Structure 1
Amino acid sequence: MSQRTIRIRGARTNNLKSVDVDVPRGRLVVFVGVSGSGKSSLVFDTIAAEAGHQLTETFPPFARNRLPKWTRPDVDEIGGLSPVVVIDQRRLGGNARSTVGTVTDAWTYLRLLFSRVGSPHVGASNHFSFNDPAGMCPTCSGLGEVVVSAVDRFLDLDRSLAQGAILLPGFGNGGYWYSQYADIGSFDADTPLRDWSEAQRAALLYGGEHAARLGTRPPRDYEGVVQRFERIYLHTSDDLSDRKQETLARFTRSAVCADCGGDRLNEASRSATVLGHTIGQLGRMEVTELTEVLRGVSDPAVAPVVSALVDRLRAMTTIGLGYLHLGRATTSLSGGESQRIKTVKHLGSSLVEMLYVFDEPTVGLHPRDVAAMTALLRQLRDKGNTVLVVEHDSAVMAIADQIIEIGPDAGTDGGTLVFQGTFDQLRAARTPTSTALAAQAPVVTAPRTATGRITVADATRNNLRNLTVDFPTAVFTVLTGVAGSGKSSLAAELVAQHDAVVIDQRPVSANRRSTPITYTGIAAPVRRLFARHSGLPAGMFSANSAGACPDCEGLGVRHTDLAFLDGQETVCQTCRGQRFTSEVLRHRVNGLSIADIDALTVSDAIQRVPDQAIREALWHLEQVGLGYLRLGQPLTTLSGGECQRVKIARELRDAAEPSLYVLDEPTTGLHLRDIGTLLRILDQLVDRGHTVVVIEHHLGVIRHADWIIDLGPGPGRHGGRILYEGPVAQLAGTPTADALRAG
């Protein structure tokens, strides 16, 4: 008889304090708790990690070496596990060749369809693959885009040649190429280019016929600035140095391939049609529209292909992604969209008694769209699976079979089992989550007065319909609307047309050595503090310098290479993981050794480290609710929401002149109780004269706004219009207004 619970005893991963809990199998269980309480440590780093590790161990050593590595949790006992599927918010990175169609396998079915019934017949399905030489456009190599010169960035028209009007490296006065233009007698080197004629500027840039028409003709071998730049930077196959890459990033842009028009395919593959549509045209249709078109394919020979493709497309619509098209690059998807894309392949799965683990599946969803996601979670459960969800949304809590709360607070003040029971029982309990559920932020009735406006003109990005929008300055503006309505596109246009500080959810650092100590710049002050108290050189208190343990070279661990088996990482026996020599560790400041500093939380360090500069550098992390982070915690372990708050903390520290700040769903990963902290921080920015624009679905944030710009009415081609602009108190007649009234 199968075990009816996942039995956990003595879980101590990260901040968990020997947690004992029985999680029911075959149920939908939602884990809640304040940010940093330990819920992710229990669900992802304990349950999922052990299930993943045990499954990996069933494969031969050669295969294990190529499978994902799972770090085994610190736990006394764990049983009742199933094979695990983790569906997290990590963005679907990939590269320029990865699209919604390729990552969902929908493009594979579409290629197969065209290879069988496309007219004229072109060839096998690989002839419709832009990642295969048989199908890719030879001009853009299947990318759909080419790199072209950003000629408008080449010249500063207010300068003369002698003053460095040509901004390209090596073309300024004294540069290698300068004499080719200033000294040939065809151009006036001392007159600002704005005072030249159009013909003279064209001759300078493009040479050829333009140069030939000049009264003072350049030498026969004359090259225009654009020609020379492209020969040096675009038409060479040499490996690019960092300097060349920087130049390319500054003076080029991507443009749609002129040959394939962005379809990525060669001419023959672009010519084939099904129901009068080319594969490129179908790839640009929204998923909902494409589904309707494909229902018209009646050839019984391809019925299984059409059925499988339509099922895959319907699944995308079910989880609220019907506004996407198969040609959309995965690199442009948000974390929430990435997570929902990953679920598509599991909707049609025949596997049962699996363990599905979700990380905030409602991220990026308008309250109107949450019902579709909760239906999906219940569908997975009803097929006989165990579904574990880390979530802050009350709508997901409401449909849970059981809720488990970890807390009561963050970091060292969390890590215990606070509550286990039903949603109704939770509402009656006295926990941080139940208290936050009972509270509701009021709607702002006296919004701040704008000092001016920032205009986005004629925006046509993605589904925007030639929008011109005014953003009020020195106030808090929230962009609202259903998923896919155009909020992110409008924010991107705002950033493109005006200088802005973008605070998104991308990782703060890719370096595992980067920690709050290095990020806040307190590493050197900490070393100097210990040097003053000990009389030793400051370098002795660096794990990368003279004071490092010689056996582990300051890493605190020893790595043993076991060839085809997993490498083994063990704590260094010499320093016992403390990274420094015993001589260095003897010296203490306020009872703390240099190794103890890493183990302090931000809040503890503010209280215990006797240095004003260090405390001030950490204060802003405390202000944004990250006081629970350990100073030595790698920043690569932070969630998307935590990364965003770290960036906000830095802006609070550095912000001087009034600036425009654009934030992408800053409530991601935040407990209901922590929303108020975030809003206080954003208010601080506004009170300093900054303009804050936020893309957000959280009703508490929307109620707090001075100004609302609501887009819609639907996603994709059904959106892209402004439904409302104004104070939140007057918002009416839109899906967002309905959600505010219902919430």
Structure 2
Amino acid sequence: MEGARTHNLRDISVRVPKHRLTVFTGVSGSGKSSLAFDTIAAEAERLVTGTYPAFVRNRLPQHPPADVDRIDGLVFTTIVDQRRFTGNARSTVGTASDIAPLLRLLFSRLGKPGAGFSPAYSFNDPAGMCPRCEGLGSVDDIDLDRLLDRSRSLREGAVRFPTFAPGTYRWKRLVHSGLVDPDVPLGRLPSAKVETLLHAEALPLDDPGPDYPKHGLFDGIVPRLRDSYLRKTPSRLTAEEQERLAGVVTRGVCPECAGTRLSEAARGSLIDGRSIADWSAMPVGELRDVVSAVRDPSVAPLSQAIRERLDALDSVGLGYLSLSRESRTLSGGEAQRVKIVRHLGSALSDVCYVFDEPSTGLHPHDVHRLLELLARLRDAHNTILVVEHHPAVIAAADHVIDLGPAGGEGGGRIQFEGGPGELVTAGTETGRLLGAPLRFRERTRVAQGAVTISGATSHNLRDVTVDVPLGVLTVVSGVAGSGKSTLIAGELPRRHPDFVVVEQAPLRGGIRSTPATVLGIAEPIRETFGKATGKHPSWFSANGRGACPVCKGKGVIITDLAFLDDVQTACDACGGTRFNPDALAARLHGRTIADVLAMNPADAAALFGERSPIGQRSRWLDRVGLGYLTIGQSLDTLSGGERQRLLLARHLADAGPAHELRLILDEPTAGLHGSDVDRLLALFDELVDDGATLVLIEHDQRVIAHADHVIDIGPGAGAEGGTVVFEGTPSALAEHPTSLTGRHLRTRSRRRTAPGTPTRPGTVPGRAR
């Protein structure tokens, strides 16, 4: 590739070897994703899409030609990112990993008594789904006591739901149906009449009023709500509709199938005394042993294929999951690792796979097993591109491309190309951190008291009692699924409400929300534009009068592909800026509202003044390691770690005295380069020195070594975890004989340089730039 200029790339040229594992690394915002995803992967996808008929092309993402002078040698490319699975309740770990179809086939051959062919064991097929819940495992019931005000008449608004409010279309159908007297309170009407009003379906009316639609059949209140709202996939409902429903709907486990989703025949078909629902509810690690016990030679290839996929799930640290778990409940890192397992079973070769930080959420013990899976993909004659910060992943690469030297406008240049061993001595920031031994905190701070969690038994916790010290930096470690989040993000704030959890969960507002709206600086920016231009502030809102009329202020056109992920393409009318021409005609110091929202926090602070509320709040983004973001960037583009640090910035901007802060952070360093981790740790030290209490759930060994106090949970995941393995200082943990965390700390602290031997021959000679 020659002359790449995508986003902040600085006219770079690079050679990426085929059939090798190449890691793109560098500080946050240096251009790694711009090179791997937005140039290589996007151009490959554009060229493949161009081979399809026009009808198909019109329904696929449209990418402009890459901003590059020349690019050759591209192959079919697929992105394995950290996007969560869509909000379809019918998707589970089993269906997403393609293990569920194999289990169904196995039960159709060996299950006694047989329920039928494999569709009879599927909760997504009418032949196998529970008829009561239609394969969802839960039923939504409308709470009539919350829905109805029986002291009021229909005309007075007895139905407490906006769709049936007085004056609305649905209200008129009720009032003019002729079924009941609309002026009599519901509580005084005959129960049979109210029952018809509530539950009738497609009922011909005997004596409707003159304002009732002609030839219209009557649907009761409950069927109307069910068809209009409850049968929709939650992701298809607006936030307002979901909020309305929450007030009148209760959800419970289906009483007929007990949450298994399956028909009676499928539930009654057994192998060695267990049904397919029992198998699906087991943790993957246990299920692997159950499948291994199936010795029937007629299904030997099938059971072998199931075992291989279960082994792969366990190898990427997901052995604690069950196949019945809904895929929409998985974190971004968990979702990506499930996708890896799915691709391992593919018959395709000579494919280019592009991964986005696959080590996110993994304990060092699991990272090495992840690398084995990536090596298996590569050795099947595939090309593996990985955007990554983890030292072990970089050290295992065949080829490394280090970008920098800084983020944003200060990045976009190739700092180094070559093997990981040469990177250590190349003089780049990544090389320096890769070769540096782990150092423990020399002097730990003294706790100012403690709070206690006693007898915790949630999920896999086994009667855990532990003290959490106050006024210090505490890190909770352990393998994925050991019970860290259950204990610290669940039990601690429940028992001690003064602790606040800053999560990685998606923020409300989706595509329309930005760092500016989360930080609370969007409105002051609009008001400043309004004062300077004489226009109303709503002209500078993509949700108000300034919105592009084509994309409605979203900046993209979203195409619904039903069961597939929605496709987003940039809006041609506004060029992705979200604003209409009238809004873009107004300028502040020569800049449009779109120009300002495209600024990073430092530039925004400089424009509005460092001491202004906008400037002061913007600076918090830089302090939590998000200085490379633009303040108008859609939250949909942020990773879980970035969302969490954005919430942390807002919390700190709003917070009172530091000694009142008691924060719980779940992997706050996710997605950060080592140099950015140092900056974040410096901020944590500053807060703790001022009296704050910080509790971090972390895998990063440098963060663990920097803590004042460590609580290690384990020893394993799922049923093998849930106990406190160690409490004390990081240096003492490194000497613990049985802790997996301690073992890796000990190894890393004694190592002087990173392993530099490439995993296979043919590595391109290294060169610093």
Normalised to the residue count of structure 2, the TM-score between the two structures is 0.77
Aligned equivalent of 2:464, options 467, 478, 499: 467
Aligned partners of 1:283 and 1:702: how far apart in 2? 35
What residue in structure 1 maps to residue 680 of structure 2?
678
Deviation at 1:460, TM superposition (A): 3.2
What residue in structure 2 maps to residue 502 of structure 1?
501
What residue in structure 1 maps to residue 563 of structure 2?
none
Query: Is the contact between residue 518 and residue 650 of structure 2 (CA under 8 Å) also seen in structure 1?
Result: no
Aligned partners of 1:89 and 1:56: how far apart in 2? 23
- The aligned runs of 1:531-680 (5 Å cut-off) are 531-533=530-532, 538=537, 569-570=571-572, 580-581=581-582, 584-585=585-586, 587-589=587-589, 592=591, 594-610=593-609, 612-656=612-656, 658=660, 660-680=662-682
Deviation at 1:343, TM superposition (A): 0.9
- Structure 2 CA distance for partners of 1:142 and 1:240, relative to 1, 3 Å: closer
Aligned partners of 1:645 and 1:390: how far apart in 2? 20
Deviation at 1:692, TM superposition (A): 2.6
Deviation at 1:52, TM superposition (A): 1.3
Q: Alignment identity in percent? A: 47
Residues 387-408 of structure 1 show CA distances to partners (whole Å, capped at 9, x for unaligned) of 1111111111112121111111
Aligned equivalent of 1:303, options 289, 300, 305: 300
- The aligned runs of 1:140-289 (5 Å cut-off) are 140-146=133-139, 237=226, 239=228, 246=243, 249=246, 255-289=252-286
Aligned partners of 1:582 and 1:718: how far apart in 2? 59
What residue in structure 2 maps to residue 102 of structure 1?
95
Aligned partners of 2:546 and 2:252: how far apart in 1? 53
Aligned partners of 2:99 and 2:552: how far apart in 1? 49
Deviation at 1:650, TM superposition (A): 0.5
What residue in structure 2 maps to residue 735 of structure 1?
740
Query: Is the contact between residue 478 and residue 696 of structure 1 (CA under 8 Å) also seen in structure 2?
Result: yes
Aligned partners of 1:554 and 1:429: how far apart in 2? 46
Query: Is the contact between residue 547 and residue 579 of structure 2 (CA under 8 Å) also seen in structure 1?
Result: no
Aligned partners of 2:550 and 2:291: how far apart in 1? 64
- Secondary structure in structure 2 of the residue aligned to 1:645: helix
Query: Is the contact between residue 571 and residue 577 of structure 1 (CA under 8 Å) also seen in structure 2?
Result: no
Compare 357-366 and 653-662 and name the one that shifted more: 653-662
- Secondary structure in structure 2 of the residue aligned to 1:724: strand
Which residue identity is paired with 1:46? T
Aligned partners of 2:405 and 2:351: how far apart in 1? 30
Query: Is the contact between residue 577 and residue 594 of structure 2 (CA under 8 Å) also seen in structure 1?
Result: no
Aligned partners of 1:451 and 1:148: how far apart in 2? 49
Deviation at 1:466, TM superposition (A): 3.1
Structure 1 unaligned residues grouped into runs of 5+: 1-7, 151-165, 178-217, 223-228
- Secondary structure in structure 1 of the residue aligned to 2:684: helix
Compare 530-539 and 108-117 and name the one that shifted more: 530-539
Compare 611-620 and 233-242 and name the one that shifted more: 233-242
What residue in structure 2 maps to residue 343 of structure 1?
340
Aligned partners of 1:582 and 1:94: how far apart in 2? 35
Which residue identity is paired with 1:103? A
What residue in structure 2 maps to residue 369 of structure 1?
366
Query: Is the contact between residue 526 and residue 541 of structure 2 (CA under 8 Å) also seen in structure 1?
Result: yes
Query: Is the contact between residue 478 and residue 709 of structure 1 (CA under 8 Å) also seen in structure 2?
Result: yes
Aligned equivalent of 1:313, options 298, 310, 315: 310
Aligned partners of 2:627 and 2:697: how far apart in 1? 25
Is structure 2 residue 520 aligned with structure 1 residue 515? no
- Structure 2 CA distance for partners of 1:454 and 1:600, relative to 1, 3 Å: same
Compare 416-425 and 85-94 and name the one that shifted more: 85-94
Deviation at 1:95, TM superposition (A): 2.7
Aligned equivalent of 1:33, options 22, 26, 34: 26
- Secondary structure in structure 2 of the residue aligned to 1:9: coil
What residue in structure 2 maps to residue 133 of structure 1?
126
Residues 68-118 of structure 1 show CA distances to partners (whole Å, capped at 9, x for unaligned) of 554543222211111012111122344332211111121111111112221
What residue in structure 1 maps to residue 528 of structure 2?
529
Query: Is the contact between residue 559 and residue 569 of structure 1 (CA under 8 Å) also seen in structure 2?
Result: no
Which residue identity is paired with 2:96? V
Query: Is the contact between residue 548 and residue 578 of structure 2 (CA under 8 Å) also seen in structure 1?
Result: no
Deviation at 1:665, TM superposition (A): 1.3
Aligned equivalent of 1:723, options 718, 721, 725: 725
What residue in structure 1 maps to residue 173 of structure 2?
none
What residue in structure 2 maps to residue 194 of structure 1?
none
Aligned partners of 2:303 and 2:284: how far apart in 1? 14
Query: Is the contact between residue 465 and residue 721 of structure 1 (CA under 8 Å) also seen in structure 2?
Result: yes
What residue in structure 1 maps to residue 107 of structure 2?
114
Aligned equivalent of 1:91, options 71, 84, 89: 84
Residues 414-471 of structure 1 show CA distances to partners (whole Å, capped at 9, x for unaligned) of 1111111111211111112123334456323543444444444443333222333333
Residues 210-237 of structure 1 show CA distances to partners (whole Å, capped at 9, x for unaligned) of xxxxxxxx99999xxxxxx999999974
Aligned partners of 1:175 and 1:458: how far apart in 2? 49
Aligned partners of 2:743 and 2:363: how far apart in 1? 11
Aligned partners of 2:557 and 2:335: how far apart in 1? 36
What residue in structure 1 maps to residue 48 of structure 2?
55
- Secondary structure in structure 2 of the residue aligned to 1:723: strand
Which residue identity is paired with 1:717? A
Structure 2 unaligned residues grouped into runs of 5+: 155-186, 192-197, 200-219, 231-238, 560-566, 749-769
Aligned partners of 2:242 and 2:718: how far apart in 1? 35
Report the count of equivalent residues: 667
What residue in structure 1 maps to residue 324 of structure 2?
327
Query: Is the contact between residue 472 and residue 693 of structure 2 (CA under 8 Å) also seen in structure 1?
Result: yes
Which residue identity is paired with 2:730? V
Residues 639-691 of structure 1 show CA distances to partners (whole Å, capped at 9, x for unaligned) of 33222211111011122373543322111110010101222333444455544
Aligned partners of 1:405 and 1:530: how far apart in 2? 40
Normalised to the residue count of structure 1, the TM-score between the two structures is 0.80
Aligned partners of 2:314 and 2:606: how far apart in 1? 52
Query: Is the contact between residue 146 and residue 255 of structure 1 (CA under 8 Å) also seen in structure 2?
Result: yes
- Structure 2 CA distance for partners of 1:134 and 1:660, relative to 1, 3 Å: farther
- Secondary structure in structure 2 of the residue aligned to 1:323: coil
Which residue identity is paired with 1:664? D
- Secondary structure in structure 1 of the residue aligned to 2:636: helix
Deviation at 1:371, TM superposition (A): 1.3
Query: Is the contact between residue 445 and residue 729 of structure 1 (CA under 8 Å) also seen in structure 2?
Result: no
Residues 316-362 of structure 1 show CA distances to partners (whole Å, capped at 9, x for unaligned) of 23333333221222233222221111111222333222111111111
Residues 24-50 of structure 1 show CA distances to partners (whole Å, capped at 9, x for unaligned) of 112111111000111111001110111
What residue in structure 1 maps to residue 9 of structure 2?
16
- Secondary structure in structure 1 of the residue aligned to 2:14: strand
Aligned partners of 2:687 and 2:223: how far apart in 1? 43
Compare 443-452 and 130-139 and name the one that shifted more: 443-452
Aligned partners of 1:553 and 1:332: how far apart in 2? 30
What residue in structure 1 maps to residue 211 of structure 2?
none
Compare 342-351 and 70-79 and name the one that shifted more: 70-79
Aligned partners of 1:371 and 1:235: how far apart in 2? 54
Query: Is the contact between residue 444 and residue 708 of structure 2 (CA under 8 Å) also seen in structure 1?
Result: yes
Aligned partners of 1:232 and 1:722: how far apart in 2? 53
What residue in structure 1 maps to residue 490 of structure 2?
492
Aligned partners of 1:620 and 1:677: how far apart in 2? 12
Aligned partners of 1:520 and 1:301: how far apart in 2? 61
- Structure 2 CA distance for partners of 1:337 and 1:593, relative to 1, 3 Å: closer
Deviation at 1:119, TM superposition (A): 0.8
Which residue identity is paired with 2:54? P
Deviation at 1:243, TM superposition (A): 8.1
Aligned partners of 2:676 and 2:288: how far apart in 1? 41
Aligned partners of 2:295 and 2:584: how far apart in 1? 81
Aligned partners of 2:190 and 2:451: how far apart in 1? 48
